[in-house]
Amino acid sequence: MQIWQDTTESGRWPGSASPLGATYDGSGTNFAVFSEVAQKVELCLFDERDQEERVELKEVDAFVHHVYLPDIGPGQRYGFRVHGPFQPSQGQRCIPHKLLLDPYAKAIEGRIEWNEALFPYRFGAPHRRNDADSAPYTMKSVVTNPYFDWGNDHRPHIPYHDTVIYEAHVKGLTRTHPAIPEDIRGTYAALAHPVMLDYLTALGVTAVELMPVHQFLHDHTLAQRGLSNYWGYNTIGFFAPHNAYCSSGQRGEQVQEFRYLVKSLHEAGIEVILDVVYNHTAEGNHLGPTLAFRGLDNAAYYRLSDADPRYYWDTTGTGNSLRMNHPHTLQLIMDSLRYWVTDMHVDGFRFDLAATLARQFHGVDRLSSFFDLVQQDPVISQVKLIAEPWDVGDGGYQVGNFPPLWTEWNGKYRDCVRDFWRGEGGTLGEFASRLTGSSDLYQSDGRRPHASVNFVTAHDGFTLRDLVSYNDKHNEANGEGNRDGEHHNRSWNCGAEGPAGDRNVLALRARQQRNFLATLLLSQGVPMLSHGDELGRTQGGNNNAYCQDNDVSWVDWPAVAEGSEILEFTRELIALRRNHPVFRRRRFFQGVAVRGSRDGLSDIGWFTPAGREMTDDDWDAGFAKSLTVFLNGQAISEPDPRGRRIQDDSFLLLFNAHYEPLGFTVPKDLGGWWSVVVDTAIPYVEYRSLVKAGATVEVEARALLVLRQSGQD
């Protein structure tokens, strides 16, 4: 960065238009902000008594207003005031009375105190401009220290096919853990605590996918109901770690604490993936507050209605959508992504409502500018990129349609696996595709099985325990009359709604949870667990706990025994997947014998419970709910990193989603002896007696049996 040293005004230098934001260089700070419509921009500096000093940014290059202030350093609070057109009918909403956050702020202090002064209109009079000063009620940007001792930190660079993702909420995962000091629970420091690192490594996950940690707001409507935006999908600062997750009261310390979290997870061999929300901001619709982007350059940052620019074009369900075909909005997103990779060392991103990012104009376009930029970027293109491949706009469901560089949350996997295990008919063919990596979705454009991020549950919806305990959602605590949340959950309560005392119901629920976990962790693709599912976490039937920052959403650690059966079962399944590459292939099955394999058998086989190969009629039988899958460990076609051909044990997966036990015949043509290594009818993983090819083994109703080949005749 080159700093001009023209000192025509005492203590103020013109500075530089790049980089955007507040950049401290050890001697002073350069401030730069974009606004194409601004007639004047003022930098507002706040002292410890909240007294405000204004500095006009007189230098403007390519619509970037900038200044350099010597002796201004980390901890300095600031904001902007923009003088310009306030013409909502033309799409512009500049009001200098509103203090604006820096879109590039690396840290943000405080929280919103909801007051009429934050809004551009008077309450009850939406056409009357509100010139009240918002500074006493809004958050403030903070100059940060760019320096951090990373030591010899390095990214784990775990290949996709070896990845097991653990979706987690910083606060919800750690808030009640009794072994974490109470004063840091619910923070970045808590997640970096040795007890959490030991837990995650013992579980066997390789990546933590953090729900939003960009600075977010608690919506005005939620605050009025005494609730909060617990999930955090309401971003206002795309560079700033959320300040409420910081254990320290020091200004700007959230940046260093987050860096320490990343460094600690890396030392444990765990990657950090951020759930990011670049599709909208917390400013909401035309009736929302003026906090940052709206007051800087409304028409540049947001998609406005063609028919009437006073309104926003919304494909997110939140009131606004970012304008993905504007160069400065695209620059903001790309700069943010690059910052989190280079300066914060994260390993990848999961993009919320990613279909909105593909809307360059109105339709979803996989060749939009955003994807072009990501594809060619030498930094962002090298990390994990995961799309939530849908939004709420027309044509927004885009599972399977993202570019080859991307992986996707596979919503079709979730839906099909739920349907299969609750006994829905006509699911067998699709279930086979989902189990083997969804080649119907990802193979045609050259992607691999890891393009499918498989999940049964996530933050949005029932927990795993609730999925098998409730037929209906129970969201009354959200204050919306139980109207919010998904209505069609593909759940089954196993015979009783909610808490139950019947032993048979409880046993079936436990078995169903094991069925889902085993299916997920033995499917091709990348498995994703939702935090607490391995502990039997419940939300009491709430399938939309976005506003429940309380024990409804927090993991209830005091109620968890470290040796609980479902936790041990999950750990053993992850270990089984890790130890056997046949469950995490890098290429799709071909359905043919692989040259060089000793047995001459196909790489995969499909059999009826009677032990004969599946026919078209078997696949088309709508009543069929059971099948045997042969995974040939001698026919893995891809080489290892050193070029050697991978070989593994062979396995049989015996699926019985029928409501009665079934006898399964081990196919004779496969030969040898087989040992039971997983039986979801029992709450633990163990090796049991041998079964000879041609023999029949009983599989409990609604259960999965996994057999490993132990030898040849």
Which residues are catalytically annotated?
352, 388
Fill in the DSSP letter of residue 325. T
Q: What is the rounded distance in angstroms from the CA atom of residue 476 to the CA atom of residue 461?
A: 15
Q: What is the DSSP string of 207-227?
A: EEEES--EEE---HHHHHTT-
Strand pairing class (207-210; 165-168):
parallel
CA atoms within 13 A on the CB side of 356: 25
Fill in the DSSP letter of residue 302. B
> What interhelical angle do 503-521 and 565-579 show, nearest 10?
20
Q: What is the rounded distance in angstroms from the CA atom of residue 694 to the CA atom of residue 668?
A: 5
Are residues 315 and 321 in contact, defined by beta-carbon separation less than 8 angstroms? yes
| Residue 120 in tokens | 């551009």
Kindly provide the b/e burial profile for residues 337-375, where b requires at least 16 CB atoms within 10 angstroms of the residue's own CB. bebbbeebbbbbbbbbbbbbbbbbeeebeeebbbbebbe
Q: What is the rounded distance in angstroms from the CA atom of residue 29 to the CA atom of residue 75?
A: 11
SS3 330: helix
| Residue 95 in tokens | 């009001």
Number of DSSP helices (H) and strands (E) in the chain, helices first: 16, 31
135 alpha carbon, distance to own chain's centre = 33
Token look-up 């009240």 returns 132
Amino acid at 94: C
Calculate the alpha carbon distances from 302 to 64, 205, 296 in Å: 18, 38, 11
Gap between the terminal Cα atoms of the chain: 72
φ/ψ of 188, rounded to 5, equals -60, -40
Q: How many residues are there in the chain?
A: 713
SS3 380: helix
Q: What is the rounded distance in angstroms from the CA atom of residue 61 to the CA atom of residue 283?
A: 27
| Residue 534 in tokens | 């391995």
Q: What is the rounded distance in angstroms from the CA atom of residue 407 to the CA atom of residue 384?
A: 8
